[in-house]
């Protein structure tokens, strides 16, 4: 059964490449509590601090919070990209993450080659790659452009291809960043159905977003992050307040 459980999870980013002293001092002078130096005198941003939560099967969790609150970092940690410096994390179930649509794309390769490459990135066998190719080719609606290097695509076409490849999955745990909500309106209507199927098909959804409409529509639980800590965790109503007064509720939370 799909579950995610975290106990005391912490992630700290050492800022290695800004060792220039003056810069360091200036950063420290403005001392947000999150930027500090560690025992070996490095500048460290505490991106996530002591998070504990449990997400069970069937829950659709929205991660909300201002920019830099740690939403994407938490998604990446759940996806296994960042390993925590403290605490414990257990994720049970097959993970599918839609964090950056363009990661691993090769702009000199054709759309079709990119689809096959994505299949290899996912560790698929030939059969699965062929299925992915068919599915993504059909959905993207790129037609003959599939055999043109993606360098020659318009921005909209690139989004369509990336979206088609990324969403051709049926994971048990779906991790999503809000990028895909930024597509052009026309395509989003078409994408809506596919996205809805993906979201409802997954046992667990964790989505990082600023869009409270998305939260209210899809999610059953909200975890609000602030400066890398959980400041609120509860049902949508508990955290955001009743549906008809979203703005006021947001301020209270």
Partner 1 sequence: MQQAVLPIYRIDANRPDRTGRAMADLRAGFASWRLAWTLARLDLRNRYRGSVIGPFWVTLSTAALVAGMGLLYAQLFRLDIANYLPYLATSLIVWNALSAMVSEATTCLSNAEGVIRQLRLPLTTHALRCVFRNALNAAHSLPLILVVFALMGQWPGAEALLVIPGLVVLAVNALSVSLFLGMICARFRDIGPIVANAMQLAFFMTPVIWKPELLGEGAKWLPLNPFYTMLEMVRGPLVEGGGTLMTWVAALLYTGALGGIALAFFVRFRSRVAFWV
Considering the rule CB under 8 A, would residue 79 count as an interface residue with partner 1? Answer: yes
Q: Which of 142, 166, 207, 240 binds partner 1 (CB under 8 A)?
A: 166
- Residue from 237, 235, 246, 225 nearest 47 by CA: 225
93/241 with CB nearer partner 1: 93
- How, if at all, do strands 95-98 and 86-92 pair? unpaired
DSSP β-bridge partners for residue 134: none
156 vs 211: CA distance, rounded Å: 21
DSSP β-bridge partners for residue 95: 173
- Residue from 47, 51, 49 nearest 13 by CA: 47
Q: Which of 52, 58, 121, 156 binds partner 1 (CB under 8 A)?
A: 121
Give me the count of residues in the chain.
253
Measured from the CB of residue 172, what is the shortest distance to partner 1 in angstroms?
A: 8
Considering the rule CB under 8 A, would residue 209 count as an interface residue with partner 1? Answer: no
| Phi, psi (deg, nearest 5) at residue 93 | 125, 160
109/199 with CB nearer partner 1: 109
Considering the rule CB under 8 A, would residue 143 count as an interface residue with partner 1? Answer: no
Measured from the CB of residue 167, what is the shortest distance to partner 1 in angstroms?
A: 10
In the complex, which residues of this chain contact partner 1 (CB under 8 A)?
10, 13-14, 16-17, 76, 79-101, 103-104, 106, 108-109, 117, 120-124, 166, 169, 171
């Amino acid at each position: 059964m799909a579950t995610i459980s975290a106990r005391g999870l912490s992630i700290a980013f050492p800022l290695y490449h800004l060792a220039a002293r003056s810069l360091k001092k200036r950063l420290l002078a403005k001392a947000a509590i999150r930027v500090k130096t560690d025992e070996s005198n490095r500048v460290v941003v505490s991106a996530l601090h002591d998070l504990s939560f449990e997400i069970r099967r069937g829950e659709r969790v929205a991660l909300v919070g201002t920019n830099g609150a740690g939403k994407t970092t938490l998604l990446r940690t759940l996806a296994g990209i960042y390993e925590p410096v403290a605490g414990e994390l257990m994720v049970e179930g097959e993970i599918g993450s839609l964090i950056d649509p363009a990661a691993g794309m090769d702009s000199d390769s054709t759309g079709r080659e990119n689809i096959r490459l994505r299949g290899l990135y996912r560790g698929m066998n030939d059969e699965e790659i062929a299925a992915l190719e068919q599915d993504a080719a059909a959905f993207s609606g790129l037609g003959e452009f599939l055999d043109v290097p993606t360098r020659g695509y318009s921005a909209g076409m690139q989004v369509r291809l990336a979206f088609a490849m990324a969403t051709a999955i049926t994971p048990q745990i779906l991790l999503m960043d809000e990028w895909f909500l930024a597509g052009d309106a026309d395509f989003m209507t078409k994408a809506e159905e596919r996205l809805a199927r993906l979201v409802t098909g997954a046992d667990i959804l964790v989505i990082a977003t600023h869009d409270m409409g998305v939260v209210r529509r899809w999610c059953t639980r909200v975890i609000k992050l602030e400066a890398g800590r959980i400041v609120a965790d509860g049902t949508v109503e508990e955290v955001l307040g009743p549906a008809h007064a979203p703005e006021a509720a947001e301020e209270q939370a």
